[in-house]
Amino acid sequence: MKRISLTQFLVEQQREHGRIPGELRLLVEVVARACKRIAIAVNKGALGDVLGSTEQSNVQGEVVKKLDLIANEVLIEANEWGGHLAAMASEEMDSIHVVPNRYPQGEYLLLFDPLDGSSNIDVNVSIGTIFSVLRKVGHARGVSEEDFLQPGRQQAAAGYCVYGPQTTLVLTLGNGVAAFTLDRETGSWLLTQGGAAIPEDTREFSINMSNQRHWAPPVQRYIAECLAGRDGPRGKDFNMRWVASMVADVHRILSRGGIFMYPWDAREPDKPGKLRLMYEANPMAFIVEQAGGMATDGRQRILDIVPTRLHQRVAVVLGSRNEVQRVNGLHRDGAGG
């Protein structure tokens, strides 16, 4: 079977829809190339001395793993010279990285979680890279953190790469979702799924159950009803999956449906959630919506949230439409015990 490459896909999208500027195409190709390099490092594991932690902690106070840093550097190095970007922001950097003066500046802004699922790095479980692309609005010279604070609905592109049994790149340019698998023999990304669609209904939920006692009443109620199975109000049995790598959990949902939640919990009551709006929730919400699913914080659409800070956190409920709507309904009604 003849499969089309990522390059061909991007060129054909441009021809058919006329909405992918050359700089954006270059950006996606450069990010995909960087992911390939990260995949090689992930693959080497202990042989490449890439496992374990560094001495540093990041802006959110989390220990930085060696691979977090390697992936961050690979993405910056690959992207700073091409002339397509004005600046980058990363989960692993305190502030934005402006493209140095020696290179031309483009109009795009790239945000990424270089290595998502850090706790799984050392145990050989799927991890990934998540990225989001915004356009710098306004023609003011220079670039600042303010330029990044745009709601997710303004993303020009978003994607993730899963480093799992296969290395898969999932991409949206606002016109559906396509998945590409890395052919290790030729080094090409080949289209393996176009028009991904998340089923509206599901019997599978994804949440870290060890936090159950800390959740707010609507989330308690939703999960209790799922656990009650066939004998409960839902009248059907549910299955549970939790990889603890958002990329892997979202990828499963994209493949066969499901609902993923990382809700607010009382362990850190002042934080709206664990996951980051700009590096994790927004790109995943864009992909999930483009595949026909829904993504909210339990009350409002993730993509409508106007960020006030780069490293802002948010509660996340995403996946199969009817289940996300049910969780939203329980929040709206103040449902509890």
222 binds, among Mg ion, ligand AHM, none (CB under 5 to 8 A by kind): none
Cβ proximity to Mg ion, 113 vs 297, nearer residue? 113
Interface ranges with Mg ion (CB under 5 A)? 113, 116
Taking the C-alpha atoms of residue 140 and residue 143, their distance in angstroms, rounded to an integer, is 8
Cβ proximity to ligand AHM, 6 vs 34, nearer residue? 34
Q: CB of residue 60 vs ligand AHM: minimum separation in angstroms?
A: 8
Output the CA torsion sign for 320, 325, 328, 333.
negative
Interface ranges with ligand AHM (CB under 6 A)? 62, 91, 113, 116-119, 208, 244-246, 262
- The two tokens of residue 201 are 């209904």
Q: Which residue lies nearest ligand AHM, judged by its C-beta?
A: 246
Cβ proximity to ligand AHM, 24 vs 281, nearer residue? 281
Cβ proximity to Mg ion, 127 vs 179, nearer residue? 127
- ∠ CA 278-103-11, nearest 5°, is 65
Cβ proximity to ligand AHM, 51 vs 244, nearer residue? 244
- Asked if 250 and 317 touch (Cβ cutoff 8 Å), the reply is no
Cβ proximity to Mg ion, 116 vs 204, nearer residue? 116
Taking the C-alpha atoms of residue 328 and residue 203, their distance in angstroms, rounded to an integer, is 17
Taking the C-alpha atoms of residue 295 and residue 43, their distance in angstroms, rounded to an integer, is 32
245 binds, among Mg ion, ligand AHM, none (CB under 5 to 8 A by kind): ligand AHM
Tokens 């659409």 correspond to 301
Query: Which amino acid belongs to residue 265?
Result: D
56 binds, among ligand AHM, Mg ion, none (CB under 5 to 8 A by kind): none
Cβ proximity to Mg ion, 25 vs 274, nearer residue? 274
204 binds, among Mg ion, ligand AHM, none (CB under 5 to 8 A by kind): none
Taking the C-alpha atoms of residue 222 and residue 212, their distance in angstroms, rounded to an integer, is 11
Nearest alpha-carbon partner for 278 in 141, 101, 87: 87
Q: CB of residue 248 vs Mg ion: minimum separation in angstroms?
A: 11
Taking the C-alpha atoms of residue 12 and residue 178, their distance in angstroms, rounded to an integer, is 13
- Asked if 71 and 142 touch (Cβ cutoff 8 Å), the reply is no
From residue 77, give the alpha-carbon distance in Å to each of 87, 97, 99, 208, 290.
12, 11, 10, 35, 30
244 binds, among Mg ion, ligand AHM, none (CB under 5 to 8 A by kind): ligand AHM
- Asked if 76 and 91 touch (Cβ cutoff 8 Å), the reply is no
Taking the C-alpha atoms of residue 289 and residue 295, their distance in angstroms, rounded to an integer, is 7
Rg (CA), the chain: 20
118 binds, among Mg ion, ligand AHM, none (CB under 5 to 8 A by kind): ligand AHM
